Amino acid sequence: MDRAHALALDAADPLARFRERFELPEGLIYLDGNSLGALPKTTAPALEDLVRREWGRDLITSWNKAGWIDAPARIGGKIARLVGAAAHEVAVADSTSVNLYKLAAGALSLRPGRRKIVTERGNFHTDVYILEGLAALTGAVLEVVPTEAVLDAIDETTALVVLTHVHYASARMWDMAAVTAAAHARGALMLWDLSHTAGALACDLTGAGADLAVGCGYKHLNGGPGAPAFLYVAERHQAAIRSPLQGWMGHAEPFAFEPSFRPAPDLRAQLCGTPPILGMAALECGVDVLLEADRAEAQAKGRALCAQFIALVESRCAAHGLRLLGPRPMDQRGLHVSFAHPEAYAVVQALIARGVIGDFRAPDIARFGFPPLYLRHVDVWDAVEILRQVLDERAWDRPEFKARAAVT
């Protein structure tokens, strides 16, 4: 592939029109939408209207008049279309970490007599931290095992298996249906973290038989920094699963102000406090843009961008010791690509200084994301050319590029 070929692919791209739906600074190549999605152009006007009209003019009446109170279910229903669930099985609430705690604790209550939780070594750290804390409080036993040992670790004492569908570093993707079936065969429940899946890849929670899932709103859903997260509870579990955080929004009648908690009989029981309306409004804008695009076309383009990036890096930067993480087949990967390099942090900082934004993950990973709605094939070509220059010139070998910032 040369640059002319990349431009030709962009000219024939059925998703090309979506690039204009996002705020993208001129001259910048943004390869970090897997960490923080780009800003949809509809978001700022929507938030201004919410602040000036719904809040500023209509004040508290907007809980009913503007549908604020329905936001968790309404936006959850939209996300459900992206993850292969029924509308009443997904709600927007809290953060991914809090939702994971709620659902993992609830899963333990659904499997009395079973105390083991299984997850993989190298899972995203907050997931492991949350499960460690839950185990310490409940007496559950957390087994963190190598990836290849996960299925063997599931036995008749296992209550719950928790895995991230697409690995945050390597982009390796689990076979959701096969792993869920293996958990169910041993009587365990399955909880998936969809933080790097939702909005990026086709996902079928219902078809896979998943029990529970969580995911964040600020990556491929383009909900903005700190956007609310979402949770999924299969309908068959909603009446029985109990949340450890019994907030008023999870009550059957929040405005009855009863003296004791009476859980809602459905997914509302997993809500807790008052929903953050500003964050939810921004998230809804991001989700709405995604729903306009054909999901099969978006996934295919995202995978093509990843394949192009891998091929170009390995051919044009071959002399610099970059090592691809994760599997090569695109149908086994998510929409980010990571290369290990001893100076990965400095390389990423040098790229940012030249207008290519990726990110770094400890200890030695340069990570690049390829959201298909606003990235072009020519962006991939140009990014690899700049990477080649940074490596050939050792442009990364400067003190300012090696000083670690608080966020990497």
| Residues annotated as catalytic (active site), given as ranges | 124, 193, 218-219, 367
Sequence-separated (6 or more) residues with CB below 8 Å from residue 46: 281, 282, 284, 285
**117 has which bridge partners?**
142, 160
Question: Residue holding tokens 């990726």?
Answer: 358
Furthest C-alpha separation in the chain: 69
For residue 14, the 8-state DSSP code is: T
Listed residue (224, 237, 302, 292) closest to 35, CA to CA: 224
Burial 53-81 (b: 16+ CB within 10 A, else e): ebbeeeeeebbeebebbebbbbbbbbbbe
- Phi/psi region, residue 192 (left: phi>0; alpha: psi -120 to 50; beta: rest), is beta
Taking the CA atoms of residue 291, residue 296, residue 299 and residue 301 in that order, the dihedral angle to the nearest 10 degrees is -110
Q: Is the peptide bond before 275 cis (omega within 30 degrees of 0)?
A: no
Phi first, then psi: give them for residue 298, nearest 5 degrees. -65, -45
Classify burial at 206, counting beta carbons within 10 Å of its beta carbon; exposed 0-12, middle 13-18, buried 19 or more.
middle
The two structure tokens encoding residue 222: 């383009």
